[in-house]
A and B are shown apart, each in its own frame.
Chain A
Amino acid sequence: MVAAQKKRHIYAVDTLGAATDRCRSRLVFVLFIFTLLYGSVVVRLIDLSLRNNKAGNSVVAAVGRADLKIKRGNLLDRNGMILATNLRLASIYANPRDIIDVDGAANSITSLFTEVDKKLLRKKLASKKQFVWVKRWVHPKELHEFNKLGIPGVYYRFEEKRTYPYKNLLSHVLGFVSIENVGLSGVEQKYNELLSFPDSENKTNELKLSVDIRVQEILTSELKEIYNKHSAKAATGVIMDVENGEIVAMASFPDFDPNLPSKVNISDTFNYATKGLFEMGSTFKTFSIASALDSKKIKMGDEFDATKPIKISRFTINDYHPLKKFLSIEDIMVHSSNIGTARIVEAMGAETEKNYFRKLHLLNEFDFEVPETAIPSSPDRWGRLAAITIGYGHGISVTPLHVVSAMATVVNGGYKVNPTLIKGKKSKRERVLSGETSHIMNQLLRLVVRDGTGKNANVKGYMVGGKTGTAEKAGKKSYNKKIRVSSFAGAFPMNDPKYSIVVVVDEPKGIKSTWGFATAGWTAAPVVRNVIRRIGPMLGVRPVNEEKIESGNRFPIVANYKNEAEKVATR
């Protein structure tokens, strides 16, 4: 019995011991689990505090960054002045269902906004719609007055309005936008996507143009003056950096105010600088003589028979002031001889002329930063007569942009220039004329302004060079002597050309102060003079001592040239 008791006791002790053991192992197990859990929490905490990860930044994200969100990026000029920007303005709208007194509301709104049509507004407010516009883009002062009226059912919301602080200046380059801020012309249209969609950092893109608003204003004001003075149909001009093709100013007259797109006269939006095709006349002699010289078909010192007019089938090629003698290349440029140019074209041949004109980009459309461009028109086949007339700028129509670019190529040492409106755009340098040809042309162009038809473009100290052109406009059957296009294309300073310039005046009328003349020498050339005189110092172009350069060995053609004719037409 005792043994049995003992046995039981031992058994009980045994059971107790085993239970404690089991308990401990469970405890350890639970402890282990908890350690694991807490451990992972600790690890995660350390991870969070040490690594600056996204979860940490979410605090900032939750509060939000103070970025101004504008739906359309600014357009800037080359110095950072704002040319176009979006401003927030209030627009007034109504929910006709909320309106209690239609007549009263219409009356009080039209008493404040006198330009709103009362009848139309009454009709709108009486309609069954839930949303009608009353007036868009209200001045803050008007908004204050409107708030005081407190008409039930009429509300306002803020909207962005494209604003152009310089108004008509640059209107053709910038273009304008629709009421929904979509670009409809100019840079606004071409760069619509870039301007309206935010970049990777969620900021709207800005676009810096190559235009200098100060130069633009000078060009515009001078063009405006000549446009009014000669009651011209249009006047346009472009100024270009000859090194990189950046356009510093581009104006076309008549112009418009892009702030008020609804009031714009469609015909005023025509950009004559990039879309206007003109037969440039004698200005083209620059390009044909440069081509002939570069092809080595003629050389300085050659003389050309200009004793009598040239007859080709039923056409006669004559000079404005016939000199009736053999002319040097200098004479042909200075006196703008058609006969002489015709001889030069005959010497080089139509094929060479066409090839060079293509290389000078006078035959193709430009891929440009405004959509308003034009394809030059010239005959499909360049026969003998066509080649000759094209040589002095008839039978071929190009835009002023073509002329200013080709002029830049001629004067800058012979490197092809791609016109651009964007500052700092890179393009590869490609030689199309030899440096020697370019140097000769610079001297010839200088001679035209010193002694020839371009005298009125001269600015003392800036060594202006260029070529005038007065072309009769082609009528229905023949050329009309009374309706002309006057142009001047040139560059300055000719010893080291910095800027090329073209000015075209379409259909100028002769007036008293110019003795009834409306030729290029009396219209386009003076504009160029005034513009260069004013923009030169502004653009940091150093004046040069002309006498010193012209008498030195660097300009032998200019130094040795003596004008033997008594009179040179300012044509």
Chain B
Amino acid sequence: MFKPTTLMGIILLGFLSFVVFQVENKVDSLRGDLKTVNKKILKHKEDIHVLEAEWSYLNRPERLRKMAGKYLMLDDIALSQIQDIENIPLKSDSYMGMERIEEASLIRK
């Protein structure tokens, strides 16, 4: 009934329209996904924004000082704690270490 070329053409057309439909379908669902993901990203960005503000709030220096004093027993750095690298003794003569640090200290107490 049909010439072979016509037949081939019809089959090809059917196949191609199937592929196009599939692709379009896929794009559509991906677009939907993208929308959801973007929404989520935006929500996360908003959360991060709030958390950043909270991070600054929690890092109030007077609060950190209070906490460090209470839980870590840390205070401001004293000048005598700052040393030149060559004044730090090697591990082998560790016994003499502390004395040498005291001796080399720029600031005598």
Taking a contact as CB atoms under 8 Å apart, the answer to whether B107 and A461 are in contact is yes
C-alpha gap A218/B46 in the complex (Å) = 32
Taking a contact as CB atoms under 8 Å apart, the answer to whether A536 and B79 are in contact is yes
Say if the beta carbon of A460 comes within 8 Å of chain B: yes
Say if the beta carbon of B19 comes within 8 Å of chain A: no
* A55 CB, min distance to chain B CBs, angstroms: 15
Q: Which residues of A contact B49 (CB under 8 A)?
A: 68, 70, 85, 87
Number of A-B contacts (CB under 8 A): 80
Closest-by-CB residue of B relative to A82 is B56
Q: A66-B38, A537-B82 are in contact. Are A165 and B60 (CB under 8 A)?
A: yes
Looking at chain B, what size class is its interface with the partner chain?
20 to 34
C-alpha gap A59/B24 in the complex (Å) = 13
Q: Which residues of B contact A545 (CB under 8 A)?
A: 106
Partner-A contacts on B (CB < 8 A): 31, 34-35, 37-39, 41-42, 45-46, 49-50, 52-57, 59-62, 76-82, 106-107
Give 14 A-B contacts (CB < 8 Å), ordered by A residue: A59-B31, A66-B42, A67-B45, A68-B45, A68-B49, A83-B56, A85-B49, A85-B52, A88-B46, A166-B56, A217-B60, A534-B76, A537-B81, A543-B79
C-alpha gap A459/B76 in the complex (Å) = 15
C-alpha gap A166/B54 in the complex (Å) = 10
* A214 CB, min distance to chain B CBs, angstroms: 5
Closest-by-CB residue of A relative to B65 is A217
Taking a contact as CB atoms under 8 Å apart, the answer to whether A460 and B79 are in contact is yes
| A63-B35, A66-B42 known, 11 other contacts, Cβ within 8 Å | A66-B38, A66-B39, A70-B49, A85-B52, A85-B56, A165-B60, A166-B56, A462-B79, A537-B79, A537-B81, A543-B79
Q: Which residues of B contact A70 (CB under 8 A)?
A: 49
C-alpha gap A366/B55 in the complex (Å) = 35
Taking a contact as CB atoms under 8 Å apart, the answer to whether A82 and B53 are in contact is yes
Taking a contact as CB atoms under 8 Å apart, the answer to whether B106 and A85 are in contact is no
Taking a contact as CB atoms under 8 Å apart, the answer to whether A81 and B56 are in contact is yes
Q: A64-B38, A460-B107 are in contact. Are A214 and B61 (CB under 8 A)?
A: yes
Partner-B contacts on A (CB < 8 A): 59, 63-68, 70, 81-83, 85, 87-88, 163, 165-167, 169, 213-214, 217-218, 221, 459-462, 533-534, 536-538, 542-545
Q: Which residues of A contact B45 (CB under 8 A)?
A: 66-68
Taking a contact as CB atoms under 8 Å apart, the answer to whether A537 and B61 are in contact is no
Interface-central residue, B54, B80, B107, by most chain A CB under 10 Å: B107
C-alpha gap A132/B39 in the complex (Å) = 31
Q: Which residues of A contact B81 (CB under 8 A)?
A: 537
Q: A63-B38, A534-B76 are in contact. Are A81 and B107 (CB under 8 A)?
A: no
Q: Which of B39, B46, B57, B62 contacts A221 (CB 8 A)?
A: B62
Interface-central residue, B38, B42, B53, B56, by most chain A CB under 10 Å: B56
Closest-by-CB residue of A relative to B42 is A66
C-alpha gap A167/B58 in the complex (Å) = 12
C-alpha gap A538/B65 in the complex (Å) = 13
* A469 CB, min distance to chain B CBs, angstroms: 27
Taking a contact as CB atoms under 8 Å apart, the answer to whether A85 and B79 are in contact is no
Taking a contact as CB atoms under 8 Å apart, the answer to whether A165 and B61 are in contact is no
Closest-by-CB residue of B relative to A215 is B61
Q: Which of A214, A221, A461 contacts B106 (CB 8 A)?
A: A461
Q: Which residues of B contact A459 (CB under 8 A)?
A: 79
Q: Which secondary structure characterizes the binding site on chain B? A: helix
Closest-by-CB residue of A relative to B53 is A85
Interface-central residue, B31, B62, B81, by most chain A CB under 10 Å: B62
Q: Which 9 A-B pairs have the closest CB atoms?
A: A217-B61, A537-B77, A66-B41, A165-B57, A165-B56, A66-B38, A82-B56, A461-B79, A68-B45
Taking a contact as CB atoms under 8 Å apart, the answer to whether A87 and B106 are in contact is no
Closest-by-CB residue of A relative to B109 is A460
Taking a contact as CB atoms under 8 Å apart, the answer to whether A163 and B53 are in contact is yes
Taking a contact as CB atoms under 8 Å apart, the answer to whether B82 and A543 are in contact is yes
Q: Which residues of B contact A64 (CB under 8 A)?
A: 38
C-alpha gap A165/B57 in the complex (Å) = 5
* A4 CB, min distance to chain B CBs, angstroms: 45
Interface-central residue, B41, B55, B60, by most chain A CB under 10 Å: B60
Q: Which of A63, A67, A88, A213 contacts B61 (CB 8 A)?
A: A213
* A547 CB, min distance to chain B CBs, angstroms: 9
Q: A81-B56, A87-B50 are in contact. Are A544 and B77 (CB under 8 A)?
A: no
Taking a contact as CB atoms under 8 Å apart, the answer to whether A544 and B106 are in contact is yes
Taking a contact as CB atoms under 8 Å apart, the answer to whether A87 and B53 are in contact is yes
C-alpha gap A542/B78 in the complex (Å) = 12
Q: Which residues of B contact A533 (CB under 8 A)?
A: 76, 79
C-alpha gap A542/B31 in the complex (Å) = 58
Closest-by-CB residue of B relative to A544 is B106
* B105 CB, min distance to chain A CBs, angstroms: 9
Q: Which residues of B contact A214 (CB under 8 A)?
A: 61
* B34 CB, min distance to chain A CBs, angstroms: 5
Q: Which residues of A contact B39 (CB under 8 A)?
A: 66
* A186 CB, min distance to chain B CBs, angstroms: 18
Taking a contact as CB atoms under 8 Å apart, the answer to whether B82 and A542 are in contact is yes
Q: A68-B46, A68-B49, A537-B76 are in contact. Are A543 and B56 (CB under 8 A)?
A: no
Q: Which residues of A contact B82 (CB under 8 A)?
A: 537, 542-543
Taking a contact as CB atoms under 8 Å apart, the answer to whether A543 and B61 are in contact is no
* A51 CB, min distance to chain B CBs, angstroms: 20
Closest-by-CB residue of B relative to A63 is B34
Q: A66-B45, A542-B82 are in contact. Are A217 and B77 (CB under 8 A)?
A: no
C-alpha gap A292/B57 in the complex (Å) = 50
* B29 CB, min distance to chain A CBs, angstroms: 13
Closest-by-CB residue of B relative to A542 is B82
Q: Which of A63, A67, A538 contacts B77 (CB 8 A)?
A: A538
